[in-house]
Amino acid sequence: MVLLGTMVNGLLIILGTLIGKWLHRIPERMKATVMSAIGLVVVVLGLQMGLQSNNYLIVILSIVIGAILGEWMALDDKLNAVGRWLERKVGTSGDTSISQGFVTATLIFVIGAMAVIGALDSGIRGDHQVLYTKSIIDGFTSIILASTLGIGVMFSAIPVILYQGSIALFATQIDYFVPSQLMDKFIIEMTATGGLMIFAIGLNLIGLTKIRVANLLPGILVVAAIVSIIHWYESLNPTFIPL
């Protein structure tokens, strides 16, 4: 079953959220400290990912161009609008952070190489091990996030399933048209670019910044475009050495 790994990922996010929601009644002071601790962990994770690039010029261009495109399309406003809609539909007087939980968890669970690699493995080879591993990580992360941000974390399972499921369903076509060398380069630079976005999420969780991270998401597509252009140029000019 092509979508098995993706479905398990979504289910563990939901399960983790329900467990975290049960832990939601911790004191506000403790909740603030836990949120800061989560932010610090996310910052370190993003920094670790961001340092994996082989060509930081690609990362810089991707982030900058992606930010311009994201601001033009107002992606952050649209994602938050979905969160506020969920808040109106299922929110209660004791849970007013549904929008923040949905947006934060969605960005954390969607950005990263494991989602792409795992979905491709599921679609091409029927191997769900990477997504199973991601599912466990996301499940524990959702427990922690839901304990401070509430039930909104659960709804991040929807974009995760749609995103990873789409890649898994079209994995055979992707593998046929995209050379393995190009895919390897894309994964490396996408990991670094996504790492900067996760780093920004961590800073937001700590409260140091209010970066509109969703507006940076087009940077992932820009990475694909730049890496593809470089790969195409290198194939035509074998002596070409990228900056």
Is 170 a member of any domain? yes
Q: Is residue 65 part of a domain?
A: yes
Q: Is residue 242 part of a domain?
A: no
pLDDT of residue 243: 53
Lowest-pLDDT range of 22-26, 56-60, 111-115, 136-140: 22-26
Q: What is the pTM of this model?
A: 0.81
120, 164 Cβ separation under 8 angstroms: no
**213 found inside a domain:** yes
**Percent with pLDDT over 90 in the chain:** 30
Which pLDDT score is estimated for 155? 92
CA torsion angle for 61, 67, 69, 75 (degrees, to 10)? 150
Domain for residue 130, yes or no? yes
**Is 157:112 a contact under the CB 8 Å cutoff?**
no
| Domain assignment present for 243 | no
Q: Is residue 129 included in any domain, yes or no? A: yes
**193-221 pLDDT, tens digit each:** 988 998 998 898 888 888 898 899 999 99
For the chain, what is the domain count? 1
Does some domain include residue 201? yes
Q: Which domain holds residue 124?
A: 4-236
